[in-house]
Structure 1
Amino acid sequence: MRHTPSFALTEVAAIKRLIRENPWATLVSHTDSGELVASHYPVILEESGEGASDGAAEDIVLVSHVGRPDEQLHELGRHELLLIIQGPHGYISPGWYDAKPAVPTWNFVTAHLTGTPELLSDDENLRVLDRLVDNFEDRMREPRRLNATVANSEYAARIVQGTVGFRLRVTRFTAKNKMSQNRPVETVERIIGELEGSGPYASPTLAAEMRRVHGAGPADGTPVGIPARGGAE
């Protein structure tokens, strides 16, 4: 990924937030045969205990699973794995800029995380699957837990054989948060307004990420100097 200092995302806490809010990951392996293999799975953080630091790549630990035979295709555990997290992103029209002429761009936030996976035992894999299900079911009105009933538990114990769990301790990462930091505040306001609008490239989630990047504001996340669409000027 091209390195642009003004867009670099280096804080481990920010990377963890990105993972929590965007848990659908792309897994990429360069196998011994020279083949590139890519798969897509949800991931969750193995959260640090109280007092743990948030300053180094090693503080980012992910757990998940792959479905068989992906563990063979990736040669999981034999070499490094690249795990990609993609956050809010979208097209930015040159018509939203003050400058003329201008060219379009794409705003985005993404992280490339590298480490060698540690394969989990069936028991630990089942515990991770349980946590993974809870992570997403917690926000449901009537959560369906993996071990909510005896029948569910028995079913989960059978299907776990079709998956291989892993833990990824990140050894290094590269991340980028490109949110028009190189544009004047008036242009940023216009871009956010368009993203919060009803046009073909509207993206409320990208607008919210831009607000986060461009300064802390009221409790609704509105940065100082950038009013929310429809709010007071």
Structure 2
Amino acid sequence: MTGTAHPQTPLSRRSWLARAGAAVGVMTLAACQRGQTISESLRVSAEALTRRSQRLLIPREALAPEYQPSQISPFFKPNGSIDPAASDYVALKDGGFADYRLMIDGLVEQPLSLSLADLRERPARTQITKHDCVEGWTAIGQWTGVRLETLLEEAGLMPEARYIVFHCFDALTQTEEGPRYYESIDLVDAMHPQTILAYDMNGQTLGVPNGAPLRLRVERQLGYKQAKYIRRIEAVDSFEAMPGPRGGYWPDRGYEWYAGI
């Protein structure tokens, strides 16, 4: 049976906000019962409300602004890790990434192991976009890579998959011992047409300071979501399956998990 979608009325928006407010109260009470602080619960609840509000108001496939080649920044700051010290990464780098394999597994029907040549054989997308860093600086760069959606469809997501986790080679301590960087996004952002795994930057092979051999570009979120040095992509059903409690290296340390712009 098919039906016609109706535009949302002011009354339905008010009802949604009322339900959201009630949900915040329930979550806060539940948090107190678990011993979580009220401020932490309110922060998490407000973040969820922000994400849902943005998704309600902005179409799922709305594109981030794209720019002209003449607008590309002369310098793109390679912040965070710029040269991972992990021995497995160093070995790959020393070999020109010839032995690199991207693993895609977790809640998928067909796990994948792909070389850089394999990735370059898939349809490519090039986009010139602005990187917004939480530190306050911006830069415009050109990125070329394979759409994440293409690879996830090839792997075949299982129905219970809800999040995509990016496991990285780098530790921000620049040592072997530090916790490795990771990030995650939901399926809305994973399937967005501008969400790509970039292997080229500004018309050249992606350099080590900016994330070689492969980095994420999820253009509707802030810079700390753009995971570099990706070694594995995992489909999961909850944050419990992730390396940390809040779904990302920086979210685990107090940043918002959803960094939409």
Bucket of the pairwise TM-score, normalised by the shorter protein = under 0.3
TM-score normalised by the chain length of structure 1? 0.27
Larger Rg: 1
